[in-house]
Amino acid sequence: MTNTTQKIVKTFFTTAACFMCFMNTNVAAIDLPSSAKLVASDQSDTKNISLALSSWDRERGISRLNITGKTVTNVYQIDGTSLTLDQMFKPIIDDLENRKFSVELYCNTQVCGGFNFRKNLEIFKPPFMLINVANYSVVTAKKDNTAVSLIASKLGTTIYLQVVSIGINENDLIQPDIKSETNSFSFTLINEGAIVLDDLIYRSGSSTLGDGPFNSLLELARFLKSTPTASIILVGHSDSTGELSQNIELSKNRAQAVADRLINSHSIDQSRISAEGIGFLSPKTNNSTEISRKKNRRVEAVLILP
């Protein structure tokens, strides 16, 4: 992720959330709301991009802007928000216009052209970016040889926002304080494909999960609820003490205990969760000390995409 795109995205979220403070008349200094998360990113040094300049028309289709330059695509999610897409985009558009960008297109759902418009958009792959064809908005803005495309959609209380910047100049951007979200639970799960649920506690020598609450399960449940197309496999691991068959059984039972907790206490559909155990066949480290054995005794959530 480039600093340029990070700054413009964080500026947009900052403005949209109306958490504003000013260091001077031009510079906003504020962190993102904690619910705004970077979930995917891609970039190309030189790429030709075709951006929508008009809504869909049965005869003419969609007018387009073809532009070439360094391109950065970032996808963000805002969970648990009451903002409408219009509420989010209004200050964004105001900010773009203040910075001498020409807003060539701003439309939503039926005005854009519904499904006929949406199917002509280049969208980052799910589950990172999801489009609700009944509730989406699009903004295209340009300035000289640069352009910004924003596509947002809301499903339930989650806003998915895709930002594509082409040739953005650093001087065109607000300079907000930057708060990194790249160490977040969902970012790790999505970008690495798996994450260790590292705060789980079991009763000694058993597969009975402690009472909790466990932050890792809260985060995993939150991710699954905000990403309805995703499912997970919970994989139990053990240290090398004892027979392999016994460890496989114990590790699977511990993974199943996590699945049961997510289903019964966090209202996750059981069809989206399965549990497996592989004993000590995939250690993170050696088993020579109690510290290393503890690291090997774990449950991992493995992300399964559609």
Q: pLDDT digit string (tens) for 88-127?
A: 888 788 888 888 899 999 999 889 998 889 888 889 988 8
Residues of the chain with CATH 3.30.1330.60: 186-304
pLDDT of residue 120: 82
Higher pLDDT pick, 301 / 293: 301
What residues pair up with 37 in beta bridges, in sequence order? 77
Find which of 18-27, 78-87, 172-181 is predicted with most confidence, using mean pLDDT: 78-87
Q: What is the DSSP letter of 170?
A: G
pTM as predicted: 0.53
Rounded to whole angstroms, the Cα distance separating 129 from 134 reads 15
Q: What is the pLDDT of residues 227-271, one digit of tens each?
A: 888 899 999 999 999 999 999 999 999 999 999 999 999 999 999
Residue 10 pLDDT exceeds 70: no
Span 186-304: which CATH code? Answer: 3.30.1330.60
pLDDT value, residue 226: 81
The burial class, CB within 10 Å (0-12 / 13-18 / 19+), for 82 is exposed
* pLDDT tens digits, 45-63: 888 888 998 888 888 888 8
- 147 backbone dihedrals φ, ψ, rounded to 5°: -155, 155
109 conformational bin, left if phi > 0, alpha if psi -120 to 50, beta if neither: left
- For residues 57 and 172, give the distance between their C-alpha atoms in angstroms, rounded to a whole number: 33
Q: Can you name the residues that pair with 282 across neighbouring β-strands?
A: none
What is the Cα–Cα distance from 237 to 221, expressed in whole angstroms?
21
Tens digit of each residue's pLDDT (9 = 90 or more) over 122-170: 899 888 899 998 999 999 999 988 999 999 999 888 899 998 999 875 4
pLDDT at 169: 55
